Structure 1
Amino acid sequence: MMNIQKKALVALILVANMVIAPVAYAHLMVAQHGTLNVIDNHAFIVLSLPISAFNDLDDDLNKKVSIDEFNAHKKQISKTIKRGVYLNDHHYKFTLEGLLLNPEVSHDDANNIEHITITGRYTVPVITKQLKLNVRLFSQSSDLNKYHITATNKQQKMTHQFALTPRTPFSTVF
């Protein structure tokens, strides 16, 4: 049964990737907001990260990150996200699996990426009250260095809203 659910999820993600244009013009997530949905032993994340939270992407030094620059640094961006956005409990650190990156461009300039919306999942054998979401990717701009997160577990009818900042970059999920 679980194998069928995994295949269905993978199929849904693949279809979504084919439907969404390489550069999204409609935002998938409000800037600096995210959701973490717990289903069984998985936690699915959607999170909008400002492009300014990443270093050394602007190759031509024009203070913009183009789709070409984004594509040239995609592996670096993925590694940075996997190191900087994770779950942990008192024993383990859980790494993001199946990471998808969706660059979101400025409404004023279609060749200027402002945010990256990430999606992926964590596999957590047991969801405990010690489970924490950690985000270690913040912009230097004070306007862009706060994330508003909503965590839900519909099976257990639990919801928790919290904010993450450079001073408090982690929070218990529930």
Structure 2
Amino acid sequence: MPLIFCLAFFSSGANGHLINPQHGSLNVTEGGAYLVISIPASAFRDIDRNLDEAISIAEFNQSRGAILRAVNRAVHLSTETTSLVLEGVMFSPEISHEDQNNVTHVVVMGRFSLTETAPATRLQINLFGLGANENFFKILITRGSIETSIKLTPEEPSVALTGLELR
């Protein structure tokens, strides 16, 4: 059943939006922290190969390695002593309603191997888009029944996971 869900979720033929642009969720559990986030395609600056300021499906598919490297460089959970990268990363293009060949956002999903959250644990995302309305992320962070919403911007790209410590 989970495999069927993943295949349906990441089908490149889907026309509906899987998640709102620049929104995401981080679910912190005892076994790790699971992130789903919608990143503007313009945040991946090196994948517009023909420099037309639009990302086509072909450019997206040719740039999967570059997208993964950018996510690994720019999306982290960190403590005072270590920085965790997103593991098991899967991503899918979000297609424009106006132009079925134009990728507007990339939905990224993965897991941080996290055994505990300390007050100094921080989520950091440095993949902001170029558009005026693409310079923020709204993320819902949950741990059990505790929920908090945060907003990340280029000026404040990280936030402490305060109040989500293991008890």
The answer to whether TM tops 0.5 is yes
C-alpha separation in 2, matches of 1:68 and 1:23: 14
Aligned position for 1:41: 31
Q: Which moved more, 1:47-56 or 1:124-133?
A: 124-133
* 1:22-171 equivalence runs, <5 A: 22-154=12-144, 157-171=145-159
C-alpha separation in 1, matches of 2:161 and 2:19: 19
SS for the counterpart of 1:79 is: helix
Give the CA deviation at 1:21.
2.3
Unpaired segments ≥5 residues, structure 2:
163-167
Aligned position for 2:5: 16
Q: Decide whether the 8 Å contact of 1:24 with 1:103 is kept in 2.
A: no
Unpaired segments ≥5 residues, structure 1:
1-10
Q: Decide whether the 8 Å contact of 2:137 with 2:153 is kept in 1.
A: yes
**One-letter amino acid matched to 2:157:** P
C-alpha separation in 1, matches of 2:31 and 2:80: 17
TM-score, with length taken from structure 2: 0.91
RMSD: 1.4
Q: Decide whether the 8 Å contact of 1:23 with 1:67 is kept in 2.
A: no
C-alpha separation in 2, matches of 1:113 and 1:77: 13
Q: Decide whether the 8 Å contact of 1:23 with 1:104 is kept in 2.
A: no
Give the CA deviation at 1:143.
1.1
Higher helix share: 1
Q: Number of residue pairs matched?
A: 161
SS for the counterpart of 1:124 is: coil
After superposition, give the CA deviation of every residue in 1:142-174 in whole Å (9 maximum; x if it has no partner).
Answer: 2110100110001xx321111000000000123
Give the CA deviation at 1:23.
4.0
- Superposition misfits of 4+ residues, deviation over 6 angstroms: none
**One-letter amino acid matched to 1:37:** N
Give the CA deviation at 1:24.
3.0
C-alpha separation in 1, matches of 2:89 and 2:135: 22
Q: Which moved more, 1:125-134 or 1:65-74?
A: 125-134
Q: Decide whether the 8 Å contact of 1:42 with 1:121 is kept in 2.
A: yes
SS for the counterpart of 1:34 is: strand
After superposition, give the CA deviation of every residue in 1:97-132 in whole Å (9 maximum; x if it has no partner).
Answer: 010001001011100000001000001122112111
Q: Decide whether the 8 Å contact of 1:103 with 1:116 is kept in 2.
A: yes
TM-score, with length taken from structure 1: 0.87
